[in-house]
Amino acid sequence: MWQRGLTLLECLVALGIVAILTALATPSLFGQLNAARALNGAHQIYAAVQYARSMAQTLDTVVTLCPRSSKADATTLCGGHFGESLVAYQESANGPRILQIWSPLSGVVVRNRSGLDPVTGEIQWHPDGIGGRNVTLSVCAGGHNWAVVINRLGRPRLVDDGGICPDAVGA
Mean pLDDT, all residues of the chain: 87
- pLDDT value of residue 73: 63
CATH code at position 118:
3.55.40.10
Please enumerate in sequence order all residues whose Cβ is within 8 A of that of 131, keeping only pairs 6 or more positions apart, or say none.
Answer: 53, 123, 124, 125, 150, 151, 152, 153, 154, 155
Domain assignment present for 23: no
- pLDDT value of residue 149: 95
Domain assignment present for 24: no
Domain assignment present for 29: no
User: What is the pLDDT averaged over residues 30-39?
Assistant: 90
Domain assignment present for 113: yes
Domain assignment present for 127: yes
Domain assignment present for 114: yes
Domain assignment present for 105: yes
- pLDDT value of residue 164: 83
Number of domains in the chain: 1
Domain assignment present for 18: no
User: What is the pLDDT averaged over residues 79-91?
Assistant: 90
Q: What is the pTM of this model?
A: 0.80
Q: What percent of the chain has pLDDT above 70?
A: 94
Range of the domain at 48: 42-160
Q: How far apart are CA 111 and CA 101, in angstroms?
A: 20
**Tens digits of residue pLDDT in 90-105:** 988 888 899 999 998 8
